[in-house]
């Protein structure tokens, strides 16, 4: 009998891996968020994501995700004859993930798609897909984000958009127009500064044919095998934005040298490089001196994906934790039924559902570029969401790992991969303080942003007195500092956090089951919370909330 086997060769009481489920259709919170944003089209949208969800929940994708991270990219600077090649070699599992992700439309496809609400669909797909192997999300994100920035120049947008929006993954450095799909990256960060790009020292010299030659370095350029990069460089007119292809129009390799790949905490499947530009060919995007204004569209779209990417990690962490605890018993019963564990799981579930609702709401804003409310809300809500959701992810991931006990600390559980990835979104594309300060900046420079925020939160008015009072208090506080933002810098994080939580609460009140909204408002706004996960008050229906988070396998 297995139970009498002292070596437990057929182990008792070990959970099975969470595979063979659908990360879209089995995820109640994600479905609610899709329903909230897609209204009558939600059913069709969920149907269109069913294959993605089934693939994401398969054992095959789990295996590819682990392999792509175990076999890290390798840099080849020169060939065997000593000529520069500056190529990065990836494991076949990386290419498999890229092919699938791009094929599911998670790169720039929504910009040319005639589907209904393509950005909401992509956002939901991104949440359901990327946590299985977060590294490959980076090139897909930058490709998605490059397209709105390219629109600063009609000719450049026309030249590149269709190739970037392709659902075909066509790897390798070849003449751009011989490829069936392309990927984009960005080069802003330099050695002397990443947040303050005004200090960039890379220069751009105009040439007679209208192009420029770029000379200098970039300190952090991810996915250097991508086909083109939006980079910043100094011109006579000031900091400007450029399109830098890896392969020149005549088919020759551009003078881009990869110095080194970064040895990173997580995100190890993806290559992040240090570059030198030795009079590299580039084309200006936007006016000279308008570099930040031009690339900001790429930054904004990337920040959306930071929110979605952190949300993806949270959703997977919660799914894994509820799954494991539903199968593992201690002290006479399943862990998920133990009141202390139930409280932890419910608290984690609230956090991830709030992030999911917020992420899809932000994606909905992208669908309506001519709607004043949506545009103003996006500007206001993006930095505060990026700040808050990306800060919450590492805390949630570590607590979810704890739900596994020792097994969660071991690589093949998948939890270390999620954990190591979790701080990244908070660091790149505007580290924490920078996003919090951007909230202040938006409040003072774009008063319509605060109005859009107040209107949006106001849509939940009347459902909760606690929430209504908190929303009023925020608007009062913001108005009091709006005239003097410099003096409020020290309060930037506090303000961004509170604005984010109130916005999340208003969305949950409108779109999630009552027990979820009530527990979120009581804990995050009413103060009935102990500061760590698992401290919901007695009024919270932890059993129902935890059960909602358990994937329907």
Please report whether residue 133 would count as binding ligand FAD according to CB under 6 A.
no
End-to-end, the C-alpha distance of the chain in Å comes to 29
Whose Cβ is closer to ligand FAD: residue 150's or residue 321's?
150
**What mask of x and - would describe binding to ligand FAD in positions 259 to 278, judged by CB under 6 A?**
-----x--x----x------
Alpha-carbon torsion, ordered 142, 147, 150, 154, to 10 deg: 170
Residues 203-262 that bind ligand FAD (CB under 6 A): 220-222
Q: What is the DSSP string of 72-136?
A: --EEEEE-TTS-EEEEEE--HHHHHHHHHHHHTT-SSGGGT--SSSHHHHHHHHHHHHGGGSGGG
**Shortest Cβ 507–ligand FAD spacing (Å):** 27
Residues 406-445 that bind ligand FAD (CB under 6 A): 424, 427-429, 431-434, 437
Whose Cβ is closer to ligand FAD: residue 432's or residue 537's?
432
**What mask of x and - would describe binding to ligand FAD in positions 25 to 54, judged by CB under 6 A?**
------------------------------
**Shortest Cβ 80–ligand FAD spacing (Å):** 29
Whose Cβ is closer to ligand FAD: residue 231's or residue 365's?
231
| CA atoms of 132 and 17, how far apart (whole Å) | 13
Alpha-carbon torsion, ordered 329, 334, 340, 342, to 10 deg: 140
Residue number of the CB atom closest to ligand FAD: 194
Indicate the burial class of 530 (C-beta count within 10 angstroms; 0-12, 13-18, 19 or more): exposed
Q: Which stretch binds ligand FAD (CB under 6 A): 97-105, 171-179, 191-199, 332-340?
A: 191-199
Residues 134-163 that bind ligand FAD (CB under 6 A): none
Whose Cβ is closer to ligand FAD: residue 189's or residue 294's?
189
Structure tokens at 520: 């979120």
> Residue 257: beta bridge partners?
276
**Shortest Cβ 254–ligand FAD spacing (Å):** 17
| CA atoms of 443 and 538, how far apart (whole Å) | 37
Interface size with ligand FAD, residues (CB under 6 A): 23
| Buried-exposed string 78-113: b where 16+ CB fall within 10 A, e elsewhere | eeeeeeeebbbebbebbebbbbbbbbbbbbbbbbeb
Whose Cβ is closer to ligand FAD: residue 365's or residue 492's?
492
Pairing of strands 272-285, 238-245: antiparallel
Whose Cβ is closer to ligand FAD: residue 398's or residue 434's?
434
**Shortest Cβ 187–ligand FAD spacing (Å):** 5
Whose Cβ is closer to ligand FAD: residue 258's or residue 546's?
258
Structure tokens at 268: 């190890």
Residues in the site for ligand FAD, rule: CB under 6 A? 185-189, 193-195, 220-222, 264, 267, 272, 424, 427-429, 431-434, 437
């Amino acid at each position: 009998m297995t139970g009498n086997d002292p070596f437990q060769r057929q182990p008792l009481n070990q959970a099975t891996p969470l595979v063979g489920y659908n990360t879209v259709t089995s995820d109640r919170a994600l479905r609610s968020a899709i329903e909230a944003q897609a209204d009558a089209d939600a059913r069709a949208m969920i149907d269109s994501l069913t294959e993605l969800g089934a693939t994401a929940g398969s054992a095959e994708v789990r295996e590819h995700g682990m392999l792509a991270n175990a076999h890290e990219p390798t840099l080849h600077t020169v060939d065997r004859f000593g000529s520069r090649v500056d190529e990065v070699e990836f494991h076949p599992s990386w290419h498999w993930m890229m092919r699938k992700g791009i094929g599911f439309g998670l790169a720039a496809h929504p910009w040319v798609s005639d589907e209904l609400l393509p950005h909401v669909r992509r956002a939901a797909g991104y949440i359901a897909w990327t946590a299985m192997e977060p590294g490959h999300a980076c090139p897909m994100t930058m490709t998605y984000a490059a397209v709105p920035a390219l629109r600063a120049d009609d000719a450049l947008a026309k030249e590149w958009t269709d190739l970037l929006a392709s659902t075909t993954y066509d790897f390798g450095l070849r003449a751009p127009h011989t490829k069936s799909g392309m990927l984009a990256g960005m080069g802003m960060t330099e050695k002397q500064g990443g947040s303050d790009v005004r200090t960039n020292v890379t220069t751009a010299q105009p040439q007679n044919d209208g192009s420029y030659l770029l000379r200098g370095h970039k300190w952090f350029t991810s996915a250097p095998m991508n086909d083109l990069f939006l980079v910043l460089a100094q011109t006579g007119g000031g900091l400007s934005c450029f399109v830098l292809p890896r392969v020149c129009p005549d088919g020759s390799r551009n003078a881009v040298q990869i110095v080194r790949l970064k040895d990173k905490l997580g995100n190890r499947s993806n290559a992040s490089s240090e570059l030198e530009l030795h009079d590299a060919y580039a084309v200006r995007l936007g006016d000279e001196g308008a570099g930040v204004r031009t690339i900001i569209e790429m930054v904004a779209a990337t920040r959306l994906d930071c929110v979605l990417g952190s949300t993806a990690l949270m959703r997977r962490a919660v799914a894994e934790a509820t799954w494991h605890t539903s199968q593992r018993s201690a002290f006479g019963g399943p862990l998920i039924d133990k009141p202390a564990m139930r409280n932890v799981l419910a608290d984690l579930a609230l956090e991830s559902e709030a992030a999911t609702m917020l992420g899809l709401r932000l994606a909905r804003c992208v669908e309506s570029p001519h709607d004043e409310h949506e545009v103003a809300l996006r500007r206001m809500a993006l930095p505060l969401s990026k700040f808050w959701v990306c800060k919450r992810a590492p805390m949630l991931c570590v607590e979810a790992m704890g739900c596994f006990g020792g097994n969660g600390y071991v690589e093949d559980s998948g939890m270390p991969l999620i954990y190591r990835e979790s701080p990244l979104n908070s660091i790149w594309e505007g580290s924490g303080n920078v996003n919090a300060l951007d909230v202040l900046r938006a409040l003072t420079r774009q008063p319509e942003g605060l109005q859009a925020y107040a209107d949006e939160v106001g849509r939940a008015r009347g459902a909760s007195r606690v929430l209504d009072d908190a929303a009023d208090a925020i608007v009062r506080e913001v108005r009091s500092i709006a005239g003097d933002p410099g003096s409020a810098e020290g309060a930037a994080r506090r303000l961004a956090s509170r604005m984010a939580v109130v916005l999340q609460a208003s969305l949950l009140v409108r779109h999630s089951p009552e027990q979820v909204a009530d527990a979120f408002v009581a804990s995050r706004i009413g103060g009935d919370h102990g500061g760590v996960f698992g401290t919901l008050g007695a009024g919270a229906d932890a059993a129902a909330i935890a059960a909602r988070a358990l994937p329907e396998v």
